[in-house]
């Protein structure tokens, strides 16, 4: 495939995968997705729930790709664990810690069937389990685009239930604040990349 054809395909993908601001992948203190702030303190264990909030033009999904930024340097894979949801059939990567020195981290979570979240329109993706890691004041964790090596997804994303294509849809990212004031909203703006930065991946 020529470089021009590849750029054309990417441009088309960006056009059909515009961000859906009403839908997002959030980080919550409870499985009902009602709180995104907490005083962690010296608690031996705290669960942070990763939940896809669906609706509008993204009412269902078969998978997700995202990563989390803002973790303190005192957090390590030994005191902060990623636990995929039991309903998922495949999870690769880690949303906080890179698996290899050549990527920025991120996780892909896949389900065997289409997920709608039922009447709540919320799909649980997994948990970040804090096993008493030292946590400073005013820690902001945010969901952004994946940094998995080779990924071409320019945003937090879900895969649609349009087999066999399983096309991507950009969604918003969530935020949780630890040991600080609650954010104005549990959702933050979609992390966007310019056409120039996307084009550079193929040049």
Residue 15 lies in a domain: no
pLDDT in tens, the chain (203 residues): 444 434 334 444 443 344 444 599 999 999 999 999 999 877 778 999 999 999 999 999 999 999 999 999 999 999 999 999 999 999 999 999 987 666 778 999 999 999 999 999 999 999 999 999 999 999 999 999 987 766 667 899 999 999 999 999 999 999 999 999 999 999 985 444 433 333 333 33
Residue 94 lies in a domain: yes
State the pLDDT at residue 154.
Answer: 85
**Domains held by the chain: number:** 1
State the pLDDT at residue 199.
Answer: 39
**144 forms bridges with which residues in the sheet?**
67
CATH code for position 51: 2.60.40.680
Give the dihedral sign, CA 177/182/186/189. negative
Residue 103 lies in a domain: yes
Q: For residue 88, what are the domain limits?
A: 20-192
Helix runs in the chain, H state only: 3-16, 195-200
Residue 10 lies in a domain: no
Residue 142 lies in a domain: yes
Residue 96 lies in a domain: yes
CA distance to 27, 41, 115, 119, 149, per residue, from 69 (Å): 12, 20, 26, 30, 16
Residue 187 lies in a domain: yes
Nearest to 104 by CA among 94, 91, 119, 89: 94
State the pLDDT at residue 58.
Answer: 93
- Whole-prediction pTM value? 0.81
State the pLDDT at residue 98.
Answer: 86
State the pLDDT at residue 5.
Answer: 38
State the pLDDT at residue 101.
Answer: 64
State the pLDDT at residue 145.
Answer: 92
State the pLDDT at residue 7.
Answer: 35
């Amino acid at each position: 495939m020529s470089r021009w054809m590849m750029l054309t395909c990417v441009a088309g993908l960006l056009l059909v995968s515009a961000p859906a601001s009403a839908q997002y992948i959030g980080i919550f203190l409870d499985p009902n997705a009602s709180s995104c702030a907490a005083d962690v303190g010296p608690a031996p264990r705290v669960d942070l729930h990763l939940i896809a909030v669906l609706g509008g033009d993204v009412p269902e999904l078969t998978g997700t790709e995202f990563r989390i930024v803002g973790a303190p340097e005192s957090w390590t894979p030994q005191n902060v664990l990623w636990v995929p949801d039991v309903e998922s059939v495949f999870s690769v990567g880690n949303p906080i810690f890179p698996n290899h020195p050549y990527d920025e981290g991120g996780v892909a979570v896949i389900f065997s069937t289409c997920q709608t979240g039922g009447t709540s329109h919320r799909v649980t993706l997994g948990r970040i389990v804090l096993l008493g890691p030292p946590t400073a004041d005013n820690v902001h964790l945010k969901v952004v685009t994946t940094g998995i090596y080779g990924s071409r997804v320019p945003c937090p994303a879900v895969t649609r239930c349009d087999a066999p294509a399983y096309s991507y849809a950009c969604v918003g990212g969530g935020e949780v604040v630890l040991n600080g004031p609650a954010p104005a909203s549990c959702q933050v703006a979609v992390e966007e990349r310019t056409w120039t930065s996307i084009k550079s991946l193929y040049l």
